[in-house]
């Protein structure tokens, strides 16, 4: 997954596009996009050997701004407002209502 992101130039280290074989050092900033948020991770230290997932937070710091997470919550709420999960595509009646609404807006603009 990460290798594919590197091949597509979606990951940067200190502002430069990174390849999968790029070595990172303490104080390096890794930037990538996940779930419509640009994540910024700072490397604090490099472990001597592999560590479990629970211990990874010791070696990194998440510097992603809080506004990015607020923006994600807003996106989730807007999607839920439009159509609930599992309701599928719009029905014929929904589509006609949408078209009618669009036509009303176009008519109002023509009158102005």
pLDDT at 10 (0 to 100):
81
CATH topology of domain 1-64: 3.10.290
pLDDT at 54 (0 to 100):
92
Spatial separation of the C-alpha atoms in residues 94 and 100, rounded to whole Å:
10
**Beta carbons within 10 angstroms of residue 11's beta carbon:** 20
Q: Please tell me the pTM assigned to this model.
A: 0.62
**Beta carbons within 10 angstroms of residue 12's beta carbon:** 17
Spatial separation of the C-alpha atoms in residues 82 and 93, rounded to whole Å:
15
**Alpha helix positions (H), the chain:** 2-7, 66-82, 92-111
pLDDT at 44 (0 to 100):
94
């Amino acid at each position: 997954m990460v290798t594919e992101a590197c091949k597509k130039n979606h990951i940067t280290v200190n502002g430069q596009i990174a390849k999968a074989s790029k070595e990172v050092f303490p104080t390096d900033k890794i930037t990538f996009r996940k779930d419509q948020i640009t994540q910024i991770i700072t490397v604090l230290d490099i472990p001597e050997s592999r560590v479990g997932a629970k211990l990874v937070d010791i070696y990194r710091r998440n510097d992603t701004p809080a506004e990015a997470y607020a923006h994600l919550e807003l996106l989730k709420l807007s999607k839920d407002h439009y159509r609930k999960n599992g309701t599928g595509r719009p029905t014929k009646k929904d589509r006609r209502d949408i078209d009618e609404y669009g036509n009303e807006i176009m008519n109002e603009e023509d009158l102005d």
